[in-house]
Amino acid sequence: MTDMLIDLLGFSLKTLVVFIIIALLLSIVIGIIKSARDPELSEESSKESYRFTDLKQKIYERKELAEKELKLMAADPAEREKLKKQMSSKKFRQKQSETQKEFYEKQLSQIKELESRNIFCPQNLFLLDFDGDIKGSNVAQLRREIDLITDVATEKDEVVIRLTSPGGMVNSYGLCAAQLMRLRDKGIYLTVCVDSVAASGGYMMAAVANKIVAAPFSYIGSIGVVASIPNFNRLMDDHKVDYEQITAGKYKRTVTMFGKNTDEARAKLKEELEAIHKRFKEEIATFRPQLDIEQFATGEHWLATDAKERGLVDEIETSDSYLERRISQTHKCAVQIKWKVNEKKSLMGRLKKFLTVRTWVKSIKKMLSENDWQQNINIK
């Protein structure tokens, strides 16, 4: 029995080695073929691209789909097949095209009526999404999207940003807010919609807008600065570990993780935080002069309904509701813009990826999932 198990194990190992060699050879051959077809793959490269979504068309198609389905559901079961054929006919599609034209004409007449009451209706509406992390790492995407908008937008247009961010690093969010300032500098009307949270650096971004629209239970505010750091000095002393730090400049390092922190160092860090907080308050006050900044720049946050009473937001409404209304009030185009990078890797880059453990785990997991008798196995 033992000999049979040893033979089986040996056969399995040999099979695995053969499989790895064949897969590696195939990967090399495929990579060479791809490189020959596309010379750009011989070097690491990336291609920027933008994705555009026609929001007016999207809303109309959703409405049209709902009407069709309701019509089919209301019809007699025996007549449904006949009705489906009618809906796919050329005559029906032509009628739908005429209906769509009437739909847009009705919107234009409503726009004229609104403008007669001095309500701003944009020529074009641009929608961006910003989902911020603590590092503010989406700033590259935000920059590219604003690059595109500032190339084509005018003072007659509106930009809406759906913003979600609890804040984060000072310099990153300062840069994010500065990117939004580019729109204001061009006189483009900017609206920020908050559905869940715009706090700290996220609120600094939102404050740049001409108007802040927030869902009732979203968190708003947190105009403050925080720094926290663990200190392992006593633990290191207990284990007789020395920590050496050499600096040039009295305040090159203040509070540290491993050294013994002094009251002077803590006071200096506190002074730096106060300086950042002062600049933070000045930034908010520049764009929202009606806000009693000293009263509300305490680091507290509020639900949007309470924040509105304090002057931190302008309207209580979800982004969905606001967008649907504003899209119907837009003269020409309502478009969502998203920037992304399509990376192209060189042959060596693909080989490195192929040889990584993570790639192998994914490949094995995929193979196992394709066998019905092993579908209960999960590799994590």
Residues labelled as active-site residues = 200, 252
Distance in angstroms (rounded) separating the CA atoms of residues 212 and 262:
43
Q: Rounded CA gap, 223 and 284, in Å?
A: 9
Strands (E), the chain: 45-54, 125-131, 158-165, 189-199, 211-214, 219-221, 301-303, 315-316, 334-344
- If 0-12 CB within 10 Å is exposed, 13-18 middle and 19+ buried, where does residue 228 land? exposed
For 68-88, letters b (16+ CB in 10 Å) and e give: eeeeeeeeeeeeeeebeeeee
Backbone angles phi, psi at 258, to 5 degrees: -115, -25
Structure tokens at 91: 């005559």
Helices and strands in the chain, H and E counts: 14, 9
What CA–CA distances, in Å, run from 179 to 25, 149, 156, 183, 329?
Answer: 48, 12, 20, 8, 26
